[in-house]
Every structure is written in C-alpha cells, then in structure tokens.
Amino acid sequence: MWNMHWMRWPIYGPAFIAMGIAAWGMWKNLGLKAKFFQLAEKDDARREGMGGRLWFATQYVFGHGRILRDAYPGVMHFLLFFGMFMLFLVTLTVMAQEDFTALFFGYEFLHGPTYLVWSLIGDLFGISLLLGTIFAFVRRYVVKAKRLDSTPQELWAILLLFAMVFTGFLAEGLRMVGDGEVLKPWAPWSPLGWLIALGINALDLGLGTIKAIHAVNWQIHLVLALVFIATIPWSKFWHMVPGFLNVAYHNKAAKPDLPLLTMADLEDETRETFGIHRVDEFTWKDLFDTEACMRCGRCTAACPAHNTDKPLDPKKIIQDLKANVDDKIPRWLDAKGAAKEDV
C-alpha cells in the first residue's frame, strides 16, 4: 500500500460500517418482506432442492446466455458484471496478501510472473468495467432506448461506478510514477495504469506533489467504494441479490403453473371476485418477482399487445404491484400480522 501505510488498519472501521449499513438494508428489503410474503398463497415446490437450484442460478448468471441474446445491453451487462466481479476478486486477493499472509507469515504469493498476470487481469477487467459504464450511459442518455425509463438512480449508478474505477486507475498511475515503476520493463503489464503513469510522468511533478495527489485521490477512491457498498440495498445494484435468488426459485415444470378459471367458477353466483383481487392472493414467488424486477423493459418490448399500441405495459404492472406491496408492508407490521382481509 504505497504512500498509504498508515491506513492499513483504520480502513477496516469504515469498511465494517459500510457493510453493516448494507446488511441492515438487505434485511429491510428482504427480511421484512419475507414476513409479508407469508400472507401470500403457498408455492412450496419452489423451495425444493435448493442446492441444485443455487447451482443452476450460478451457471445461469455467470453464463449470461439469455442476456447476450440482446446484443447491445447483453455485451454492456457482460462488461459490467465481469468487470466488477473480477476487480472485487483482485482486491480481495491483494488484501489477503498485504494484511494477512505477508504481514503475519512473511509470505507473498503475488510476485514474479504471478504478480504480472494478476496486474494484467486487474487492468483488463477494470477497462471492461469502464467500457460498460460508457455503454450504459450512451444507451440511456444518448440513444435513449425506448423501453427504458431512466431516473436519477440510474445516472447515480453509472457515475459512481465510473468514478470509482477511474480513481482506482489514477491511484495506480500515481503509484507507478512515485515508486519509479513507470520506467520498468514490466510496467506495461498494467496497461491503462501505465499509460496514465506515462502522462503523469511527462508533467515532471516532484515526488512530494505526487504523494499528496495520490493520498487525496486514494481517499476519494476509498469513499466511493464504501458508498457503493453501503448503498447497494437502495440503488440499482440491489438487483444482484433478488435477481440471483429469483433465478434459483425458477419454475422447473415444463409449463407455467397458472391458475385457471373454469366455467363452474364463472357460473358460481356466490363468488364476489375472479382471479387475483388482493395482493396476498398471489403466491410468495409472484410477489418476489416484483422485488427482482430490474425495470429493464424486456417484458414490455416483447409484449405483442404493447407492440400493437394497446394500453398494456407489463413492466408498469410489475412496478405498480411492487409499489402496492411496499405500501402494505408497514401497515401489516403495525397490525402485527392482522388477518388477510384487513391488509
């Protein structure tokens, strides 16, 4: 941790606070809603064989098969997903060496060719993440894809990711200049960091200036990373959690399990309603679908009725249902489990 050795241990305080806030937000999003979902109709088949379901979801998410069917957003998501995942893995690996194996056992596993390859991987996937944010910005705010309804939340997510990664690369470039690595033969193994370092080196700044800029930039990068972690439950990034679980709880049956109305139902004069009348009449999985909705608009784009100018918008239906669920939860909790009819 060049130039920031004094932050080796203090960094863990804010890090644990950020993770605590994120954990509390996740509990608020899923834990409290799970209690509300207990009011809904049962669909216990969805919970059978969870080991196999989780393995399927892992293959599905990392495989990106369906997502890549839609070329532009598919490639964009691929760049964002694997860029973030690999940078997270690289960061954990470096922390494991610096703050554990090297510190307590004097053992460094990131050295020589291994270090060079790991540096290359980190830079390439960092570039991937930067490109993904650019793709996302262009799609939402330049091309303005019709099926998207952009809000400040999306702009915040894009800018936060871009700033977080860019300040990371800037810190790498400043370090390479400060410790003289920029002129070493192995410097190009960190391609973008090296190019930034060459630009900084051409400015011929003094070592003191380099260290001062690096310290400020490093702390900005840290704050951005902690803000990213802490705000996951309230940001666009939240879809990572319910999205994964939603895939795990997929319907294994060959056909959708939809309740059908028979002629006897329609002729029953004692019935006051047909189909779904209250939120609690959905299955818990139906309600969980609203939490996992990412507002990508693929359902609306594929809807034949919507594409023939009919007033039907599947995405809006899901979002309205989610708003209804969110509105019901506080009242249900205040009633401490009131009867369905009262909710």
User: How high is the mean pLDDT of the chain?
Assistant: 88
- pLDDT for res 225: 96
Worst-scoring range by mean pLDDT, 11-15, 16-20, 215-219, 282-286?
282-286
CA atoms within 13 A on the CB side of 114: 8
d(CA 33, CA 249) in angstroms, rounded, equals 16
Q: DSSP string spanning 162-175?
A: HHHHHHHHHHHHHH
**For the segment 108-118, what is each residue's pLDDT rounded down to a tens digit?**
999 899 999 99
Give CA–CA dist 108/260, Å, rounded: 63
**Torsion, CA 75, CA 80, CA 86, CA 87, rounded to 10:** 150
Average pLDDT of 242-248?
91
- pLDDT 10s digits, 149-179: 888 889 999 999 999 999 999 999 999 999 9
**In angstroms, rounded to a whole number, what is the distance separating the alpha carbons of residues 46 and 122?**
38
Q: Show the tokens assigned to 52.
A: 């196999």
Percent of the chain with pLDDT over 90: 54
Burial of 93 (0-12, 13-18, 19+ CB in 10 A): middle
* pLDDT score of 342: 46
Please give the backbone phi and psi of residue 41, each rounded to the nearest 5 degrees, phi first.
-65, 150
Q: Say if residue 240 is exposed, middle or buried (CB neighbours under 10 Å; 0-12, 13-18, 19+).
A: middle
The structure's pTM equals 0.87
Q: Which pLDDT band, with edges at 50, 70 and 90, does 325 fall under?
A: confident
Cβ–Cβ under 8 Å, residues 34 and 280 = no
Report residue 258's pLDDT band, with 50, 70 and 90 as the boundaries. low
